[in-house]
Amino acid sequence: MPGESQSQRGVPAETLEQARILLEEALKVSRAWAIVVVAAVVVSAFDVSHEGANGWMVSFQITSTTVLLLSLMWLPGLIRVIAMTGVNFKTAAGEATTSGLLGLLKDLSPDSKREALPSVIAAVDMVAAEKPEERHAARKVRDDLQSQLVAAEPAPGDPKDALLQYAREYEQLRAEMDPSSERTFQMNSLLAEARAAAKAARLSGDEIRNFFASNREGLRLMAIASLQVAPDISVFEQLIDAIENSQSAFEQYHALAAARDHVSLMTDAQRKDLKKVLKHQLNDPAKGIEQDGSRYREVEALLAEA
């Protein structure tokens, strides 16, 4: 009725204020994030191919990936809400969880998951890397989505051959695209696919060591992808070398992330060696870690955990 307060109508004013704050957070979209999402949508909607005598052909098609990418415009806000309320929080319909909020993706067919999830995972990875206050919640979302991708029926063919192809595509991306948020997005998307293939490939320690020893950027990243989904402490020295002598900031960031998954498997001597390398990296101006918030936060987290 007119004149009644919200609390008199059964809704506490404090609850309404919390809801208002959460809604504001969910609707915040930064200009930089919007540019990344729009660029990814454009890339997903256009297909450029060379048809021999017919020359270059450009086709436009709205795919399930395009629709999902558009929905990612508000992903940072969703993750902020999860971070503010906890991974589990109550709603009128019951308990909502990170998995529940993204559970609709579980109903996709295996083919659709292989097509759509890598782009979604790439977007979440960028939130985790660029927004420290949302890092923990973003990683929980990423891990849930990566598990869905890994659990999907494997693509036809040998997964080890797929890793070699992903290695070539990664090297091509780095060679043909200038450094940008769009290139990082595409590399993260490719890495998400590579993790799923690596899980199926079950590389041995010797195979991982050979990938690192090849000094090919793509194969080194495939080795890191394998260690991210299947930690193997037998290649500790190679993982530490990927941190100390990385061929790119992108490689070093993901080597640092993989090292965090190995901390619980390390001996005291290995933890000591890891800390020594990390401190040296922080003090090496050529690496530029102090100017790169994403890598700096990974190093700080590793130093705290090791």
- pLDDT one-digit tens code per residue, 253-262: 999 999 999 9
Flag whether 51 is in a domain.
Answer: no
pLDDT at 197: 93
Flag whether 148 is in a domain.
Answer: no
Summarised one tens digit per residue, pLDDT across range 169-185 is 999 999 999 998 778 88
Taking 80 as the threshold, does the pLDDT of residue 202 lie above it?
A: yes
Instruction: Count how many domains the chain has.
Output: 1
Its pTM stands at 0.67
Flag whether 251 is in a domain.
Answer: yes
pLDDT: is 177 or 57 the higher one?
177
Q: What residues make up the domain containing 281? A: 160-306
Flag whether 63 is in a domain.
Answer: no
- What single string gives the DSSP state of each residue in the chain? -TT--TTTTT--HHHHHHHHHHHHHHH---HHHHHHHHHHHHHHHEEEEE-GGG-EEEEE---HHHHHHHHGGGHHHHHHHHHHH-SEEEETTEEEEHHHHTGGGGGS-HHHHHHHHHHHHHHHHHHHHH-GGGHHHHHHHHHHHHHHHHHSPPPSS-HHHHHHHHHHHHHHHHHHS-SSHHHHHHHHHHHHHHHHHHHHH---HHHHHHHHHT--HHHHHHHHHHHHHS--GGGHHHHHHHHHT-SSHHHHHHHHHHHHTTGGG--HHHHHHHHHHHHHHHT-TTT-GGG-HHHHHHHHHHHHH-
- Residues 188/157, Cβ–Cβ less than 8 Å: no
pLDDT band at 82 (very low <50, low <70, confident <90, very high): very low
Flag whether 29 is in a domain.
Answer: no
pLDDT at 209: 97
Flag whether 24 is in a domain.
Answer: no
Q: Which of 87-96, 228-237, 280-289 has the lowest mean pLDDT?
A: 87-96
Mean pLDDT of the chain: 76
pLDDT: is 114 or 45 the higher one?
114
Flag whether 74 is in a domain.
Answer: no
Q: List beta partners, residue 94.
A: 91
Flag whether 70 is in a domain.
Answer: no
- Estimate the crossing angle of helix 135-151 against helix 181-201, to 10 degrees: 50
